[in-house]
Amino acid sequence: MESDTGPSEALRRLNVFNRHFAPLIQQQVSSDSLSPSLQAGLSNEIQYVVKNSILTAEQERSYQENGFLVIPNLVPHHKIDAYREEFELICEGKNRQRSAGMTIMKDVALKTLSGERAINKLQDFQDNEVLFSYCSSPELLQYVECFTGPDAMAMHTMLINKPPDPGSKTSRHPMHQDLHYFPFRPAKSIVCSWTAMEKVHRQNGCLVVIPGSHKGQLMRHDYPKWEGGVNKMYHGIMDFDASAPRVHLEMEKGDTVFFHPLLLHGSGTNKTSGFRKAISCHYASSNCHYIDVAGTTQANMANEITDVAKRKLGEDVEVNIKDIWYMKGRLVKGERITL
């Protein structure tokens, strides 16, 4: 079945988002502005968007100002259902080959449970045909290109499942910037797509973003000191200003948010008895370059990742963070250049 909401419903929801973000966005989107149009004339600040015919002027302005852009009803429901089935098979351990190369993570407070009730993340599914088809789908790539340009790599893949929180609040994801995890630049040529696999809202732990925070610097991250514990690799910003105005991104199944890797974001506790799933890919221009993170705020992340890799490959194996990223990156559009 194709997604069950049509263009007028998509437009209505887009306008609800925009009303919600006013005065950040200021202009109501009209049905005319949903059609592709070539727009020019943004200010001379950092240009976060590559000019092409996909984004309307309003969408460009919104990404520039806020660092994120929600496209309602972008991924058809039948595709999401296929990703869900694949996730369930992996959770059931049905076929080990399906999960080759992936990291399967469990919520720290749910370790005694099994399957979907405990697994909170699949990471690095670049070799799983069904899940990776999300990253190479044309409906996503037409938008990805607006941020990466014509040569795009899928660098980091995740299916995030939030099982019902057992009271530990460990289903929360601390506020962070994704660039903390990436040893490549420039930041403006990297974008995340995050697609809701079911209705996400405040009760089940939707994404929370700080509009405009993508214009700041990469901040220091570490594990938050939470009473109930913190999940592996859930680093958060150390000096987070809790009074910063935040927006809860309530989304429908198939809605997709594209966001900048410096955008401060996180997600809340799943207070419901159901799951909250999303599928996500970080894309980068294949023209990006690797950086040395030794001695920077990213060194703690690099050490943790290389320790995990050594545990898998053997302590005596020389592991370099750039090699890890080089190996898991997959070209999805154009040519592979430097990444």
Ligand X SMILES: O=C(O)CCC(=O)C(=O)O
The residue ranges that bind ligand X (CB under 6 A) are: 158, 160, 173, 178, 207, 265, 267, 278
Residue of minimal Cβ distance to ligand X: 267
Residue with tokens 């997604």: 3
Of 61 and 173, CB closest to ligand X? 173
Between CA 139 and CA 75 the distance in angstroms is 7
Of 163 and 329, CB closest to ligand X? 163
Between CA 53 and CA 32 the distance in angstroms is 14
Least distance to ligand X, CB of residue 158, Å: 6
240: phi then psi, degrees, rounded to nearest 5: -75, 130
Are the beta carbons of 177 and 262 closer than 8 angstroms?
A: yes
Least distance to ligand X, CB of residue 215, Å: 19
Of 64 and 267, CB closest to ligand X? 267
Least distance to ligand X, CB of residue 206, Å: 8
End-to-end CA distance of the chain, in Å? 37
Least distance to ligand X, CB of residue 46, Å: 23
Least distance to ligand X, CB of residue 179, Å: 11
Between CA 190 and CA 176 the distance in angstroms is 16
Are the beta carbons of 143 and 204 closer than 8 angstroms?
A: no
Of 265 and 333, CB closest to ligand X? 265
CB atoms under 10 Å from CB of 22, counted, come to 10
Least distance to ligand X, CB of residue 265, Å: 6
Of 166 and 334, CB closest to ligand X? 166
